Amino acid sequence: MEWHPATVSLRGEIYYVVMTVPLEARAAMDGKPQVRRSARTTDRKIAEQRRFELEGVLREQVTRAVRKAGLHQVESKYLRAVRELRLMNHVYGHGYDEEFNEPVLQTLAEPPQSLREAEDAIQQLQQFALSLRQAELSPEDAGAFIRLYEHFQGQPPSAGLAQEWVDAAVSELGACFSTEDASPTLSSYLDNYERKLDLRIGQNDLKPKTAKARVKNIRQFIDAVGDLPLHSLQATNAYVFAQHLAGEGHANSTIKTRISDVSTMLEAAVQDGELAQNPFLNLKLSRIGTRGQHYAPLSDELLGQLFSIPKLPQAVREIWAFLICTGMRLDEAALCKLHQVKEQDGILYFDLQNAEVKNRQSQRRVPICSTLEPLIRRMLHDRAGCDRLFDFPIKADGKSRASEKCGYWMKKVNLNKISGDPSARYTNHSMRGSFKDKMRDAEVGLEVHNAILGHDQHTVSASYGRGPSLAAMKTAVDKAQHPYLGWIAQGTACREG
């Protein structure tokens, strides 16, 4: 379009910024040759200063009018989505004709003319695309497929293709209507929610890696169901996401966690007045996804096989020794810093009281048993001047790469065959279970070995006092036998890798 510079004109006592409407845009502007906007001043100099800003506003007004007119063109992305999805006669709005004194139904074949109508149309398109996605994720639902087959009078389009049509239509509608008063979408509210999470991190009320995982899960939800307006969300969206995750092979516990993260954001939106209520409350998710399988503890025989792997890297051998002797989680050991190894009354221990760990209960002191102590002292000497006890690389989410490396070497031994249990699940976390079994076998009290592991005590009495002393916990860990760790005392740890 050919634009002419805006001018300043006095009308009464107020100056206005006036702009000529390009010839090709006048039909969209109901034939108006000019548009104007008040400069809200009686001073011409001030009006001239505001001219450029108001000219931009006027150009945007004309451009939007042209775009709105374009919605009626047969090649518009909006009408293409409506046609392809067979929704031309689908009602999305209601009006009232005063001349004929009767209600008027608005179908999707009639493009929206206001922001509210655009939001309603978007909601209808998104929900229909969602029904296609849901049908694909639940092929056993023959009724849903039959309804879609009848709707399209043949094979329905793929959910991915339908979403492409809808996304293009939504983008086109967004360019036509002002978004100043629009209801926030999932992604636009997420920006605000991230600021809330940052504030909680600054107040030490939330761990950075927890916030990062939560945002990642919310973005995955948006990718799966679309960037919907908050007010259009329904429980159905959660179930579609759950089926999507189940289709990727995720366990039920993982599915519940990821949907809970989305629900937490929606609860914040309720508190901000952006949602009337959280639609993700009281969901029935127990039958979606695979059932969680507990980690199987490792017997001394299996541990002996692991520590005897040929060419086992020194770092893997040593961190496995940490895990089986302390019950620590893998990253609690892998990220442990030299200054966190402390000594009190002759007892060497790991101080995790201010560490970035799983939860509050995990912030604890972990005594070092007599079997492990020579290795720790040797590492402190050898790594003097280093930051951490281990050099496993750290990923963007703050976790280490120890899991990948240790998992690779654990697979060198066919633990299921040796144990005679083909269904058992053995991982690095199995050593934590083995440690707990050793505490039980040594008849260590539940309160003591829960304190060592960082488990919640789940009793009223446990909330009194400071818990088991370091001396009591040291006595407990020294009761465990570790016949596969003879190399520590001999000082013959493999230096390969």
pLDDT score of 442: 93
Burial class (CB in 10 A: 0-12, 13-18, 19+), 295: middle
pLDDT score of 456: 62
Contact 244, 236 (CB under 8 A): no
- Per-residue pLDDT tens for 383-393? 999 999 999 99
Contact 287, 415 (CB under 8 A): no
Residue predicted with more confidence, 224 or 495? 224
- The CA-based angle 163-169-172, given to 5 degrees, is 140
d(CA 402, CA 389): 12
- Per-residue pLDDT tens for 25-62? 999 898 999 999 998 899 999 999 999 889 988 998 89
The answer to whether residue 360 scores a pLDDT higher than 90 is no
pLDDT score of 343: 94
pLDDT score of 492: 44
The answer to whether residue 186 scores a pLDDT higher than 80 is yes
Summarize the confidence of residues 450-478 as an average pLDDT: 75
The answer to whether residue 2 scores a pLDDT higher than 80 is yes
Q: Which of 31, 36, 32, 34 is nearest to 14 (CA)?
A: 36
Which residue's entry shows tokens 């639902």?
141
d(CA 252, CA 290): 5
Greatest C-alpha distance within the chain: 100
Which residue's entry shows tokens 């890798």?
497
Q: Which of 294, 318, 297 is nearest to 441 (CA)?
A: 297
- Per-residue pLDDT tens for 419-461? 999 989 899 999 999 999 999 999 999 989 889 998 765 444 4
3-class secondary structure, 378: helix
Residue predicted with more confidence, 105 or 284? 284
The answer to whether residue 495 scores a pLDDT higher than 60 is no
Q: Which of 248, 226, 70, 69 is nearest to 159 (CA)?
A: 226
pLDDT score of 17: 93
The answer to whether residue 230 scores a pLDDT higher than 90 is no
- Per-residue pLDDT tens for 80-113? 999 999 999 988 766 555 555 666 678 899 998 8
Mean pLDDT for all residues in the chain: 88
pLDDT score of 156: 92
Summarize the confidence of residues 331-356 as an average pLDDT: 91
The answer to whether residue 401 scores a pLDDT higher than 90 is yes
Q: What domains are defined for the chain?
A: 7-70 (no CATH), 77-176 (no CATH), 186-271 (1.10.150), 300-490 (1.10.443)
Residue predicted with more confidence, 226 or 376? 376
Summarize the confidence of residues 407-416 as an average pLDDT: 94
pLDDT score of 373: 95
pLDDT score of 183: 65
The answer to whether residue 245 scores a pLDDT higher than 70 is yes
Burial class (CB in 10 A: 0-12, 13-18, 19+), 244: buried
pLDDT class of 382 with cuts at 50, 70, 90: very high
Q: Which of 246, 329, 302, 285 is nearest to 483 (CA)?
A: 302
Residue 163's alpha-carbon distances to 67, 158, 159, 170, 223, in angstroms, are 22, 9, 6, 10, 11
List the structure tokens of 472: 């009591």
Residue 63's alpha-carbon distances to 1, 2, 4, 60, in angstroms, are 9, 12, 14, 5
The answer to whether residue 463 scores a pLDDT higher than 60 is no
d(CA 242, CA 238): 6
Which residue's entry shows tokens 């709707």?
151
pLDDT score of 100: 56
d(CA 235, CA 466): 44
pLDDT score of 460: 43
- Per-residue pLDDT tens for 138-162? 888 888 888 899 999 999 999 889 9
pLDDT score of 461: 45
List the structure tokens of 187: 């992604």
pLDDT class of 115 with cuts at 50, 70, 90: confident
The answer to whether residue 194 scores a pLDDT higher than 50 is yes
Q: Give percent of the chain with pLDDT exceeding 70.
A: 92
d(CA 129, CA 424): 41
pLDDT class of 379 with cuts at 50, 70, 90: very high
d(CA 140, CA 440): 47
Give the least confident one: 334-343, 354-363, 366-375.
354-363
Contact 412, 302 (CB under 8 A): no
The whole-angstrom distance between residue 272's C-alpha and the CA centroid of its chain comes to 20
Extended beta strands in 355-409, E state: 365-367
Q: Are strands 347-351 and 341-344 parallel, antiparallel or unpaired?
A: antiparallel
